[in-house]
Structure 1
Amino acid sequence: MFGDGAMLRMIAYGNELNLAHPPRPVDAKTAWQPEWTAKLRIKSVHTALLGMASAPNAQDLLREGLLGGEE
């Protein structure tokens, strides 16, 4: 079924941001009870079928007149 094709998968991990409210006090001896915390992790994923043309992007579509560009 898939003997003639190959797939490429790329995953990129970026920075991480940790948030808390209220912010941690400067003095480490001060009691601190955060109301909430959140962790934001950045990740990007791309999958491509090798040997096939890439899908058109928005600029290609506009250039060809498919999304309101000139015909």
Structure 2
Amino acid sequence: KVRMVADGNGEFTRAVGLALDASGFGMGARSQRYAMIVKDGRVEHLAVEPGPGLNVSSAESILAKL
């Protein structure tokens, strides 16, 4: 079962240290690009993009980890 979860106010993102200050680009507080696999409430895999682009957090990359 795949569940997509939003973090509209960024509370979770800040709590796990994945917030990004993009105010220099006129965008304010943002979330780094990442994907997480959680099973029974435990993080099994966390893929944080090292820079712009979509590599480690792509659907293909994450599906391969399931």
The TM-score by the shorter chain falls in which range? Answer: under 0.3
> Max radius of gyration: which structure?
1
TM-score by length of 1: 0.23
Which structure has more relative contact order (CA 8 Å, sep 6+)? It is 1
